Amino acid sequence: MLRFDSSGKPFIIIRDQDQKERLTGSEARKANILAAMTVANLMKTSIGPLGMDKILVDQDGEVTATNDGATILKNMQVENPIAKLLVELSQGQDDEIGDGTTSVVVLAGALLEESLSLLEKGIHPSKISEGYEKACDIAVKHLLKICDKIEFDKENCGSLVKAAKTSLGSKIVNQYTEKIAKISVEAVLAVADLERKDVRFDLIKLEGKTGGTLGDTELIDGIIIPKNFSHPQMPKQIKNAKIAILTCPFEPPKPKTGHKLDIDSVKKYKELLEIEQNYFKEMTDLVKKSGATLVLCQWGFDDEANHLLLQKKLPAVRWVSGTDIELIAIATGARIVPRFSELTEKKLGKAGMVIEKSIGTTDEKMIVIEKCSNTKTVTILVKGGNKMVVEEGKRSIHDALCVTRNLIKDNRIVYGGGAAEISCSVAVNKASKENTGVEQYSIRAFSQALLSVPIALASNSGLNSLEAVSEIQLKQMEKESSFLGIDCLSKGTNNMKEQYVFDTLRGKIQEFLLATQMAKMILKIDDIIRPTGQY
């Protein structure tokens, strides 16, 4: 790019122009919108209880089969910058809410698609943005108006289970929704603090195991670590265990400063031997003295130390991972001890039962720590016929956990099955008439875009999508009822209240806001510069 300064000398703004590709103005915008639409279209078929899955083959040929929007986008290896933005959008929804990761991308794609025709009419992108902003405001306000509250407490969590079921409905686990939804809700309630409306997710551990079917998934009141006892003859079951958690190895110390210990006489040799022997004795003695009945260690053991532990009747587990150690420490109330000398009785954790279990015909063992003194830790053991099912099961359960958590934080809900979107669309459309000028067009476009999710839902369910959606629109307007949605599973009623299909209000609002924000951001781009040859 060349410009001339006041004295007429050429002035280079972008270097090596011939090596860069550049799109400007409306062309740039169209390219961006097209890219975003491609991603959105890709995701559309995954929406709803009858949505389809995708297989992702990674660099090493490993296979992942999933229906989770965030996972698909994350593993897709996207290159296009706009597509990357959408990946982040879905990631944002995943981090914040944990559910609705597909819908948010589809909605953003639809907003951009609508804007394409507005651009062709010659409306300035920032005007479109303003209109979207306003429309989004209206939609969110409308959501707040139509939202419903669900009631629950620790004993009576039926409504939570139903919400979790909606989230699980679109995944491969939907055969066992009832059971898995229950497990998810129980898990969340076990760690939830209903007073403070807070859920500590790090206290729920998801452990996967192949074998059995997804229906064999179970909730364990305690922690599972995929390890076994360090010596085969240690007891496989410990009652009322007092647990010492160590982050130092059962080995002679290795000072970090470089040093050499020179042995030049027999006497010194003997001394050294004695020191070595004492190290092991001291270590095990210190542990025994603290009153511990189980040792969990982040590092390895020397053979001799291992045997001494056996002799002292101290069952031990080695190479326990850092995250497990932390979880166990929280659950049992133990302190993580970095040095043997600092081990005292106060720092031990307590658990009612520790058992080593083996599964199937292979030699895989796991240690279950149950009845921890701080009972607020649970593990969901996900089972399934193969690795991919287990992985997908874990992802689905994570989503269900998120939904439940969100409801505990904020018990307001809106109805699913596209009901909320359609209702908002109607409201936004109505509101558009109160605006004059260009904005009216963009607000109306927003109302059209909102319908994209219900349309995708209906077409995935094998319905005549436009017909189904317009029918519901009409019904909603006639009856002023915001709980009519798409009857995906052909249950014979459009009443989502009766079908118990609902989403969290927070999730829905977040979805609208994020999608609008993303659409605005992409609309604002009017120049793409990139090196050639990398397309």
Partner 1 sequence: MSEAYQPARILNQGSTQEKAEGARLSNFVGAIALSDLISTTLGPKGMDKILQSPSNLLDSTITNDGATILSSIQISNPAAKILIEISKVQDDEIGDGTTSVVVLAGELLKEAEKLIHKRIHPQTIIKGFRLAKNIALKKLKEIAQDHSENEEDLKKYLKKIAMTIFSTKILTPYKSIFADLAVESILRLKGSTNLESIQILKKTGGLLKESYIEEGFVLDKKLGVGQPKRIENAKILVANTSMDYDKIKIFGSRVVVNSSSKLAEIEEEEKKKMLRKCQKIVDHGINVFINRQLIYNLPEQFFTDHGVVSIEHADFAGIERLSLVTGGEIVSTFDHPELVTLGTAKVIEEIMIGEDKLIRFSGCKEPSACTIILRGSSKQILDEAERSLHDGLAVLSQMVKNPKTVLGAGCTEIIMAQAIEEAAKETSGKIQIAMEAFARALTRIPIIIANNAGYDAEQLVSELKTSHYKGNTTFGVDVMNGKVCDVQELGIIESFLVKKGMLLKASEATEMILRVDHIMYSAPRQRGMN
Binders in 483-502 for partner 1, by CB under 8 A: none
Identity of the residue, 202 or 303, whose beta carbon is nearer to partner 1 in the bound complex: 303
Tokens, residue 2: 């060349």
According to the binding rule CB under 8 A, does residue 263 interact with partner 1?
yes
Between CA 224 and CA 230, with CA 225 as vertex, the angle to 5 degrees is: 135
- Catalytic status, residue 399: yes
Please identify which residue in 8, 254, 346, 437 interacts with partner 1, judged by CB under 8 A: 254
What are residue 10's DSSP bridge partners? 4
Per-residue binding string, partner 1, 343-372, x by CB under 8 A, is ---------------x-xxxx---------
Tell me which residue has tokens 């979107």: 421
Shortest Cβ 309–partner 1 spacing (Å): 10
Please identify which residue in 47, 138, 204, 214 interacts with partner 1, judged by CB under 8 A: 214
Please identify which residue in 8, 9, 261, 346 interacts with partner 1, judged by CB under 8 A: 261
Sign of CA dihedral 142, 445, 458, 183: negative
Contact call for residues 309 and 182 (beta carbons, < 8 A): no
Identity of the residue, 436 or 534, whose beta carbon is nearer to partner 1 in the bound complex: 534
Shortest Cβ 128–partner 1 spacing (Å): 18
Selecting among 101, 177, 377, 379, the annotated active-site residue is 101
Q: Are strands 20-24 and 63-66 parallel, antiparallel or unpaired?
A: unpaired
- Catalytic status, residue 216: no
Closest CA to 475 of 460, 458, 495, 450: 495
Tell me which residue has tokens 């020397």: 302
- Catalytic status, residue 532: no
Q: Are strands 502-504 and 412-415 parallel, antiparallel or unpaired?
A: antiparallel
According to the binding rule CB under 8 A, does residue 386 interact with partner 1?
yes
According to the binding rule CB under 8 A, does residue 53 interact with partner 1?
yes
According to the binding rule CB under 8 A, does residue 513 interact with partner 1?
no
Between CA 402 and CA 293, with CA 191 as vertex, the angle to 5 degrees is: 130
Please identify which residue in 8, 10, 122, 232 interacts with partner 1, judged by CB under 8 A: 232
Selecting among 66, 71, 102, 404, the annotated active-site residue is 102
According to the binding rule CB under 8 A, does residue 54 interact with partner 1?
yes
How many CB atoms are located within 10 Å of the residue 350 CB? 17
- Catalytic status, residue 375: no
How many CB atoms are located within 10 Å of the residue 424 CB? 28
Identity of the residue, 273 or 474, whose beta carbon is nearer to partner 1 in the bound complex: 273
Q: Rounded to whole angstroms, how far apart are CA atoms 72 and 56?
A: 7
Identity of the residue, 48 or 507, whose beta carbon is nearer to partner 1 in the bound complex: 48
Tell me which DSSP letter residue 412 carries.
E
Identity of the residue, 7 or 233, whose beta carbon is nearer to partner 1 in the bound complex: 233
Sequence-distant (6+) residues with CB within 8 A of 214 are 172, 173, 175, 176, 180, 382, 383, 384, 385, 389, 393
Q: Which of residues 81-100 bind partner 1 (CB under 8 A)?
A: 82-83
Identity of the residue, 158 or 252, whose beta carbon is nearer to partner 1 in the bound complex: 252
- Residues with a catalytic annotation lie at 68, 101-102, 399
